[in-house]
Structure 1
Amino acid sequence: MEETIDLREYFAIIKKRFWIIALITVIAAVVSGAISFFVLKPVYEAKTTLIVNTEKNEDTQMITGDQFNVTQKLAITYGEIIKSRAVLDDVIKNLKLDDKYEDLVNNVTVS
């Protein structure tokens, strides 16, 4: 006695029970999202600052307004890098300071 099942029967079963499949999928997504946001602690986190420079043109000595704006923004970015945790933590470690990052960042000014 051999039984054969047609693919149409499988699709009919899936179509009939689609709401259960969708409900289980939504519940699993909500539960896993809640666990990952509220229960699990992050294992790894990274932050970076990307600096893009333009190529210098040695032929002309003129500074355009665009170059001036880029230079100003680059100076602000360098100031943020100087006050970043990565730089100041190395300063504290290399100079063997007793200060914490929060104390040192309040005492550093960049102008």
Structure 2
Amino acid sequence: MEETISLKEIFAVLKKRTLMILSLIISFAAIAFLVSYFLITPTYQASASVVVNQEENVDVSTLNNAIQSNISLINTYKIVMTSPVILDEVAKEMNLSLSSSELAEKLEVASQADTQIITVTATDTSQAKAAELANTTVDVFQREIPELMNLENVKPLSLAETVEDPSPASPNILLNTAIALVLGAMVGIGLAFLLEYLDNTVKTEADIEKRIGIPVIGIISHMTEEDMKTNKQYAAPTDKRQVRREYSGQKKKTV
């Protein structure tokens, strides 16, 4: 027999576990905020761009073919830019004790669709070092590419700059906190329904009817000693004479 749950029962479960759900939401958000703000080291990004052409002087009639040829070679230029030939020279100029593979992890080389523009984005815990790494990579690429691929027309399009009060690229504290809020709500609601599903105790008349399938006819209330004392109808007599009078009265009624 399949059990169904109504919308009213869903809201009843959520209302019953509201405190637990809110506690989990606040806890998740607080942990995400504290970890993002205090434990994760912020990183900064800086970008520099170059535009590449195979030839400086191109006839108008062959300009379109030249552009398409350059675009098709963009992926090759991107690989060259993160190769040891370029990055080893970058490390030497910046006096870095990093290998080319370690430097490559700090760089992201991308190109805009159907253009001859290559953008180098560097990531570092210092904004100044990130900007220097991006600019140096572009500069070394511009110097070395003519010998590597017979490409002389490489010009910087924009250089990375630093600002006084930079915003870190990572971690995104607001985004992390928002994700934690949603995750906390999901965990809280899921846990509320799990606890309700595992709760086999009988609390109301409806629970009895649901379990045994028979309507409840009457209820016997639980009475404490205080209830007995406050209700004279059920209070036990404390005086022997009162007992005799009550007994005599009952006897007269029965005669």
Max radius of gyration: which structure? Answer: 2
State the TM-score, normalized to the length of structure 2. 0.20
State the TM-score, normalized to the length of structure 1. 0.41
The higher relative CO (CA closer than 8 Å, separation ≥ 6) is in 2
Structure (1 or 2) with the greater strand fraction: 2
